[in-house]
Amino acid sequence: MRSVHSLPGHDEPQVVEVPTPQAGPAQVLIETLAAAVNPVDVFVATGAGRGAVNAGERLGLGWDVSGRVLAVGDQVTTIAVGDVVAGVDDVMVGENRAQADLVLLDADAVAVVPDGLDSVDAASIPLNSLTAAQAVDLLGDPDGRTLLVTGAGGAVGGYAVALARSAGWTVTGLGRPGDEEFVRSTGADFTADAERAAYDAVLDGAVLQQEGLAFVRDGGTFVGVQPSAQVPTERGITVTAVKVVRDASRLAELLARSVTGELAVRVAGTAPLADAATVYAKIGSGGQRGRWLLVP
């Protein structure tokens, strides 16, 4: 079968042939309908990215996938052969990951795609929605506090704005002028030029890091999305960063909220798995809204 890999000596992804995986006792084997390409994939596909994750000779790429279940292990009771599922590979390293014809995941990393949600589009949801939901959890109780979400028009930021609003935060989204309509559609306020030290909390979807910390009031809360590069604290601000982890029940909830439209499903486009390098180049050039999906 085919799989998208980062290989030594290459700064763009390579489509290679790998052995067909077999489902272990607590695993499901998925025939891929679509696999998302995220900025982290683009980073890891480069030489610098490979070094950052201490990759071996071959490194599979991809975090989220949707597809039809071909086989399940004998310990799996929540997923059945024939189910259409979406899932997240949160292991980060390994030869076989989500951008492949067939994907092997632990059963606790997948959820059934609900009726009303396009099975291809579903691949755009797991990583970014779970990251946003778990980042909002780290903010604590809203309790009338104000929140600035940076990168509010982006994939993680867009989910974070909607989820924080639903959780009771008074939310302002920081983004490009062209993002204003989308951000306001969630019920949040919008700014393209945030005031320094004006917000009780910041969720830094844009990875502004120290620059984003400047928007937090003294004693406030800052949640980043790069756990490997946490921002040093200052002015009594509580600083933490989200590290996304699999959560099948939470993913099922987020997929259901995508059906209702509470969470916008944004797909930038689709392309054949064989054209992975072209898609990676598009994402690397910036300016994309929504996720590009690779379709076998």
Q: Give pLDDT, residue 8.
A: 83
Q: Give pLDDT, residue 199.
A: 98
CA–CA separation, 97 and 63 (whole Å): 7
CA–CA separation, 192 and 181 (whole Å): 12
Handedness of CA 92, 95, 99, 104 (dihedral sign): negative
E strands, the chain, are 2-6, 14-17, 27-37, 59-60, 64-72, 84-88, 102-106, 110-112, 146-150, 170-174, 189-191, 199-204, 216-224, 238-241, 267-272, 291-295
> Which amino acid is it at 180?
E
Say whether 90 sits in a helix, a strand or coil.
coil
Q: Give pLDDT, residue 87.
A: 98
Torsion of CA 67, 69, 73, 76, to 10 degrees: 90
Q: Give pLDDT, residue 126.
A: 98
Q: Give pLDDT, residue 208.
A: 97
Cβ contact 255:122 at 8 Å: yes
CA–CA separation, 223 and 241 (whole Å): 5
Which homologous superfamily does the CATH classification assign to the domain defined by 128-241? NAD(P)-binding Rossmann-like Domain (3.40.50.720)
CA–CA separation, 68 and 90 (whole Å): 19
Q: Which helix (H) or strand (E) holds 259?
A: helix 248-259
Select from 41, 51, 60, 80 the least CA-distant residue to 2.
60
Task: Quickly tell me which residue has 């989220």 as its tokens.
Answer: 64
Mind listing the pLDDT tens digit of every residue in the chain (296 residues)? Answer: 999 998 888 889 999 999 999 999 999 999 999 999 999 899 888 766 666 665 567 789 999 999 999 999 999 999 999 999 999 999 877 788 999 999 999 999 999 999 999 999 999 999 999 999 999 999 999 999 999 999 999 999 999 999 999 999 999 999 999 999 999 999 999 999 999 999 999 999 999 999 999 999 999 999 999 998 889 999 999 999 999 999 999 999 999 999 999 999 999 999 999 999 999 999 988 777 889 999 99
Query: What are the φ/ψ torsions at residue 281 (nearest 5 degrees)?
Result: -65, -40
Identify the architecture of domain 2-125+265-295 in CATH: Alpha-Beta Complex (3.90)
Task: Quickly tell me which residue has 């704005």 as its tokens.
Answer: 161
CA–CA separation, 264 and 181 (whole Å): 13
Q: Name the pTM for this structure.
A: 0.95
Domain-wise residue ranges, the chain: 2-125+265-295, 128-241
Estimate to the nearest angstrom the gap between the alpha carbon of 272 and the chain centroid: 20
CA–CA separation, 273 and 271 (whole Å): 6
Q: Give pLDDT, residue 44.
A: 87
CA–CA separation, 71 and 103 (whole Å): 11
Cβ contact 226:207 at 8 Å: yes
Say whether 69 sits in a helix, a strand or coil.
strand
CA–CA separation, 113 and 191 (whole Å): 34
Q: Give pLDDT, residue 165.
A: 97
